């Protein structure tokens, strides 16, 4: 009796002998890469605060921020600097001032 298509396709599906191993390894690797959030020096804080004061909507910036246990670089255009709620909006993303670790104006509006 001939095999139907679905059963025939199962023969050629990739075999994962240790189901879930890849996911577990990826999770372990991510946990290993996590870092502690460090304290900023007074000079670093002053530099970031000065850059925030100088920012205007439309400026292109490069920001270093701490998110989910990692330091990441965000490059984009400033949409909003909210001093009341203390965040910087670059594109669609928001960065809390407390998570900023570096801020550089790449191009002025």
Each residue's pLDDT tens digit, 64-75:
999 988 899 999
pLDDT interval class at 63 (50, 70, 90): very high
The pTM of the full predicted model, rounded to 2 decimals, is 0.66
54 has a pLDDT exceeding 80: yes
CA 90 to chain centre: 12
Residue 93 in this model has a pLDDT that exceeds 90: yes
pLDDT in tens, 19-53: 777 888 787 777 667 778 889 999 999 999 999 99
pLDDT of residue 33: 72
CATH of domain 42-107: 2.30.30.520
């Amino acid at each position: 009796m001939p095999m139907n298509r679905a059963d025939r396709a199962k023969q050629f599906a990739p075999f994962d002998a240790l189901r879930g191993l890849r996911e577990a390894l990826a999770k372990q690797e991510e946990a290993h890469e996590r870092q502690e959030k460090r304290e900023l020096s007074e000079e670093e804080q002053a530099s970031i605060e000065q850059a925030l004061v100088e920012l205007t909507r439309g400026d292109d910036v490069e920001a270093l921020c701490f998110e989910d246990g990692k330091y990441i670089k965000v490059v984009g255009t400033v949409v909003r600097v909210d001093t009341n709620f203390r965040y910087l909006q670059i594109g669609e993303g928001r960065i809390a001032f407390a998570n900023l670790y570096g801020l550089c104006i790449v191009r002025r509006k």
